């Protein structure tokens, strides 16, 4: 047996697969500031409902958006940076590029660490790894004493060119452990052994920023599971789509900063595989954000540098990190996204009501109108079935919030204001979908879309109509799909080394020695022998400043094919450089048997009034229970399909067929 739980900004999702393969699901409102109470309450309820005991569970996998929220909210205390003398302002200077060339009012991201918490250390290595100035241990000891006096609790160490020669960094780390053992140390040569000083330092700082809180959180959560009798493995989802042990993630928390969203892309790829759709857009809309990613050839696209908290999705506007992540576009568009009048129009998000206080209809003190309030007013949601019935929705509160804060100020009806919220959040997600498809060189009209999350199937059909996407797949239990994705995640650990060399001029024994060193590091991090290793390299044409990642085998051919697809042309014969060597240790794939729907007489619907602009207002709409649908049943829009964790809306003109796994395959 195995279980998974995924902490989102509004809801925490739970899935347990018992020894017969059956999936048991649950959903709880996320608790703030510590998500642990909701996790434990949901797990206890799920274990009891499934009729199993904790000692029977062999594997638990956890995903969370908590880490990204910690960084965005900038609430960590006692975090410092030690760097080579002369590089105190590396975070403040960053890159000279402006993410909006013609906007004179833009501000660069504020550094996570103020310069008064940056210590300069007397040492210096050259780009080839030779030592220019040896580490001054006496001066280093004085700096460490100052840190201890100031109350430093977590320290990032990023010395110049330590990705080539980590000796000074590691010795400085030893001095910290000798003189101030209470300080957690993050070394850039372990966290991100790659070139580019700003990005490497930023990655290490984020790791240090998270270390204290994440270590305490994971140890506390693991201890609570132990007290309940759990004796199985405890894994944490990484941003790159694999899992690793909780102890490893406590050391490298920067690797789990996009932990939750990554699982949604994995499960979307799985449903695409079952529906013979290897190329698709994974669309996961929850209570706080919408996440979109591209899946090609059955595998989610990944990047090796990503930015957190970008401004209007602009490259260069966020906090950069050199860790492998699924290529996600995340925007503030979820069920809790707050709507407001702005310049005579409706603006939705990016701020969210979250779970506390939540949308007005939750009855928890929220007064601002949200997307969930609008969907309730439009008749799309059942007030008694939200999150498996754990949240009762107050229709009068939703009416009041939208009427007083939107409809009256804009001089429109309640229904028009609710539809405006629904349509505007769809437009926001349409723009993000174009970023993740067209800007990656893929025409969305040639892709399918897999909609997951509690709110995803409510909006998916409207979204694909606007984009011209032909097919949309809305899986059963889509409201907890990310947790299902956690169950099937493989054990993975990524290692990288920056070593510049010309492709074709690298000695084979030298390459093998480097990969062997990286394999040893990956084995140590995993704590077990992996199923296999994947070797990759970052390549660029000589003189360029951007790289593409391809498999090491047949690297030149793969690079020129990818370069042509990404930029429209290649330059055969131009010298190619290797900048970074990458290795991924991969464990065995975890099989997850999805429940199958039977055949029989078609399920008969109930009916309620729902608002559709094609019908000029409210219309009598069939409402189906997902659990009662049968394989092969066809539904004609307008129609609504309800289940414990989510609701699916089929607008007029859309037809959907139920496949053997209960997914709705919709076309228009």
Sequential DSSP letters for 119-147: EEES-EE-TTS-EEE---HHHHHHHHHHH
How many other β-carbons are positioned within 10 Å of the β-carbon of residue 130? 10
CATH number of 490-586: 3.30.1490
The dihedral over CA atoms of 492, 494, 495, 501, expressed in degrees to the nearest 10, equals: 130
Query: Under a CB-based contact definition with an 8 Å cutoff, are residues 604 and 616 in contact?
Result: no
* 404's tokens: 């007083």
Strand partners, 352: 337
d(CA 275, CA 272): 5
CB 185 within 8 A of CB 140: no
**Please, are residues 639 and 622 in contact by the beta-carbon 8 Å criterion?**
yes
Taking CA atoms, 322 is separated from 171, 183, 198, 526, 559, in Å, by 23, 24, 10, 20, 20
Dist CA 452 CA 376 (whole Å): 19
Asked if 641 and 453 count as a contact pair (C-beta separation under 8 A), the reply is no
Residue 295 near residue 270 (C-beta atoms within 8 A): no
The separation between CA 63 and the C-alpha centre of its own chain, rounded to angstroms, equals 9
Decide: 590 and 4 in contact? Cβ < 8 Å. Answer: no
51, 60 contact by CB (below 8 A): no
Residue 530, CB-side half-sphere exposure with 13 Å CA sphere: 24
Q: Do residues 584 and 533 lie in contact, with contact meaning Cβ atoms separated by under 8 Å?
A: yes
State CA 575 to chain mean position distance. 36
Report d(CA 202, CA 626) in Å as an integer: 46
Cβ atoms within 10 Å of 224's Cβ, excluding its own: 15
Helix locations, 288-445, DSSP H: 371-377, 395-402, 408-410, 414-437
The model's pTM? 0.90
**Can you tell me the distance from the alpha carbon of 184 to that of 171, in angstroms, rounded to the nearest whole number?**
15
CA distance 338 to 369: 6
Distance (Å, whole) CA 187 – CA 303 = 22
Residue 362 DSSP code: G
> What tokens appear for 483 in the block?
């947790």
The confidence score (pLDDT) of residue 387 equals 65
- Name the strands in the sheet holding 79-84, side by side, starting at the edge strand that comes first in the sequence: 118-121, 79-84, 154-158, 184-187
H helices of 493-606, in order, are 508-526, 555-567
Beta bridge partners of 541: 576
Distance of CA 379 to the CA centre of its chain: 30
Q: What b/e sequence results for 339-370 when a residue is b if at least 16 CB atoms lie within 10 Å of its CB, and e otherwise?
A: bbbeeeebebbbebbbbeebbbbbebebebbb
State the alpha helices, DSSP H only, in 51-123: 66-73, 90-93
Q: Check: CB of residue 123 under 8 Å from CB of residue 87.
A: no
Let me know how long the chain is: 668
**Residue 325: beta bridge partners?**
303
**CB of 46 closer than 8 Å to CB of 32:** no
CA–CA separation, 602 vs 618, rounded Å?
26
What is the model's pLDDT at position 10?
A: 84
pLDDT (0 to 100) of residue 122: 98
Nearest Cα to 263, choosing from 98, 109, 490, 472?
Answer: 490
Nearest-10 Cα torsion for 562, 563, 564, 565 = 50
- Cα dist from 341 to 24, 417, 471, whole Å: 41, 10, 34
Q: What is d(CA 123, CA 440) in angstroms, rounded to the nearest whole number?
A: 42
Listed by start position, the domains of the chain span 490-586
CA distance 391 to 378: 18
User: Whose structure tokens read 């960590």?
Assistant: 76
What's the average pLDDT block by block, 10 residues per block, for the chain (668 residues)?
A: 90 90 88 91 93 93 87 88 96 85 81 94 96 97 97 97 96 97 96 94 96 92 94 93 92 90 89 93 89 91 86 81 89 89 90 86 91 95 77 90 94 95 93 86 89 93 89 91 90 94 90 95 88 95 92 94 88 93 89 84 94 92 94 94 92 94 91
Task: Scan for tokens 């939107």, then name that residue.
Answer: 406
DSSP category for residue 591? P
Q: Which two tokens stand for residue 157?
A: 């160490």
- Residue 238 pLDDT: 93
Distance CA 67, CA 48 (A): 29
């Amino acid at each position: 047996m195995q279980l998974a739980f995924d902490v989102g900004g509004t809801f925490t999702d739970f899935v347990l697969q018992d020894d017969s393969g059956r999936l048991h699901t649950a959903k709880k409102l996320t608790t703030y500031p510590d998500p642990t109470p909701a996790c434990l309450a949901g797990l206890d309820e799920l274990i009891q409902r499934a009729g199993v005991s904790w000692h029977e569970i062999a594997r638990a996998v956890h995903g969370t958006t908590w880490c990204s929220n910690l960084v965005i909210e900038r609430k960590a205390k006692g975090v410092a940076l030690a760097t080579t003398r002369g590089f105190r302002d590396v975070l403040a200077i960053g890159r000279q590029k402006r993410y909006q060339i013609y906007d004179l009012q833009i501000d660069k991201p504020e550094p996570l660490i103020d310069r008064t918490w940056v210590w300069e250390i007397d040492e210096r290595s050259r780009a080839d790894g030779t030592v220019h100035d040896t580490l001054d241990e006496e001066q280093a000891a004085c700096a460490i004493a100052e840190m201890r006096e100031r109350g430093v609790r977590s320290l990032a160490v990023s010395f110049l060119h330590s990705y080539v020669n980590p000796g000074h960094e590691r010795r400085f780390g030893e001095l910290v452990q000798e003189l101030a053992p209470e300080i957690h140390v993050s070394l850039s040569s372990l966290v991100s052994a790659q070139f580019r000083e700003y990005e490497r330092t930023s990655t290490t700082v984020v790791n240090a920023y998270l270390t204290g809180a994440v270590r305490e959180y994971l140890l506390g959560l693991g201890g609570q599971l132990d007290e309940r009798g759990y004796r199985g493995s405890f894994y944490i989802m990484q941003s790159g789509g694999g899992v690793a042990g909780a102890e490893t993630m406590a050391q490298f928390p920067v690797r789990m900063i996009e932990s939750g969203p990554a699982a949604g892309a994995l499960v979307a790829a799985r449903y695409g595989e079952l529906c013979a759709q290897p190329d698709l857009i994974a669309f996961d809309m929850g209570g706080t954000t919408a996440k979109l990613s591209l899946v090609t050839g059955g595998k989610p696209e990944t990047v090796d540098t990503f930015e957190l908290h970008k401004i209007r999705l602009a490259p260069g506007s966020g906090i950069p990190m050199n860790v492998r992540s699924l290529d996600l576009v995340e925007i503030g568009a979820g069920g809790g996204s707050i709507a407001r009048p702005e310049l005579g129009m409706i603006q939705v998000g990016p701020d969210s009501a979250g779970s506390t206080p939540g949308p007005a209809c939750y009855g928890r003190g929220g007064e601002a109108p949200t997307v969930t309030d609008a969907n309730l007013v439009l008749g799309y949601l059942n007030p008694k079935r939200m999150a498996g019935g754990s949240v009762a929705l107050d229709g009068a509160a939703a009416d009041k919030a939208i009427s007083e804060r939107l409809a009256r100020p804009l001089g429109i009806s309640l229904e028009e204001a609710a539809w405006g919220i629904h349509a505007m959040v769809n437009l926001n997600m349409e723009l993000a979908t174009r970023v993740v498809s067209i800007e990656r060189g893929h025409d969305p009209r040639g892709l399918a879309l897999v909609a997951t999350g509690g709110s995803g199937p409510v909006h998916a059909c409207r979204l694909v109509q606007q984009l011209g996407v032909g097919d949309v797949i809305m899986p059963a239990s889509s409201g907890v799909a990310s947790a299902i994705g956690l169950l099937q995640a493989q054990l993975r650990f990524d290692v990288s080394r920056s070593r510049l060399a010309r492709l074709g001029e690298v000695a084979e024994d030298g390459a093998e020695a480097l990969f062997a060193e990286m394999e040893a590091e990956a084995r140590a991090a995993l704590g077990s022998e992996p199923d296999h290793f994947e070797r990759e390299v970052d390549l660029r044409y000589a003189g360029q400043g951007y790289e593409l990642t391809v498999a090491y085998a047949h690297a030149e051919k793969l690079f020129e094919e990818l370069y042509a697809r990404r930029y429209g042309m290649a330059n055969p014969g131009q010298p190619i450089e290797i900048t970074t060597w990458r290795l991924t240790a991969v464990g065995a794939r975890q099989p997850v048997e999805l429940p199958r729907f039977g055949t029989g007489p078609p399920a008969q619907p109930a009916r309620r009034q729902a608002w559709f602009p094609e019908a000029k207002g409210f219309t009598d709409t069939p409402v189906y229970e997902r659990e009662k649908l049968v394989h092969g049943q066809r539904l004609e829009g307008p129609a609504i399909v309800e289940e414990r964790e989510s609701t699916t809306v089929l607008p007029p003109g859309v037809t959907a067929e139920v496949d053997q796994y209960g997914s709705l395959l919709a076309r228009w």
